[in-house]
Amino acid sequence: MKMLFKIFLMVIITIPVFAQDDDLPQEADPKVRDKIRAAHVAYLTTELGLTPEEAEKFWPIYNEFLEKRKTLHREFRQKKQNPDPNKTEDQNSKDLVDLGFKVKQQELDMEREYSGRLLKVISAQKLRTLPEAEKRFRQMIIDQIQRRQMQRERREQMQDRSQQRLQHRNN
């Protein structure tokens, strides 16, 4: 059953990655994002061994945590990309270092808070395996994207070779 689920998961991930228009970046297609989110939920639910009751309580809390963490990182990136024009480059760099520490502390505080909330829903063992399961899922997605890019490059190379042969024949 677990093997069947993993095959199903790979199909869910692979289809949107390969079916997507080559000119669009991955994050531009909301359908792909939604399918990846669904695969993420399915993968973590299986990897953590969540019961339906646990999953029902776990996902709202975890999604809230992910959204807050994403907001925190987005704010940091915005400040990093838009330095204060009234400050020197060195002053802006120092501010970014301080802000980086502040963001890390806020993220740690959030993790501590949400871990406490999640421990009321799932066991400590399941919570402990969560970061590693997240890491494996991210790597799986990265691998799929890299495979897709390699296939696209091979296809382009084959098309280039075909065009070169045609030009050579016509000359």
Q: Please say whether the dihedral angle defined by the alpha carbons of residues 114, 136, 13 and 9, taken in this order, is positive or negative.
A: negative
For every residue of 89-130, DSSP letters joined together read HHHHHHHHHHHHHHHHHHHHHHHHHHHHHHHTTS-HHHHHHH
pTM for the full predicted model: 0.69
59 in a domain, yes or no?
no
Residue 165's pLDDT is what? 85
In a domain, 62, yes or no: no
Residue 87 lies in a domain: no
- Mean predicted confidence (pLDDT) in 78-100: 90
With cut-offs at 50, 70 and 90, classify the pLDDT of residue 41: very high
Show the domain range for 42: 1-50+129-143
Q: Is residue 79 predicted with pLDDT exceeding 80?
A: yes
Look at residue 159 and tell me if it is in a domain. Answer: no
Residue 104 lies in a domain: no
Asked whether the predicted pLDDT for residue 133 surpasses 90, the reply is yes
Q: For 94-114, what is the mean pLDDT?
A: 94
Q: DSSP class of residue 22?
A: T
pLDDT, greater one: 110 or 160 = 110
Cα distance between residue 6 and residue 132, in whole Å: 17
Tell me how many domains the chain contains.
1
More confident residue, 17 or 38: 38
Within a domain: 83: no
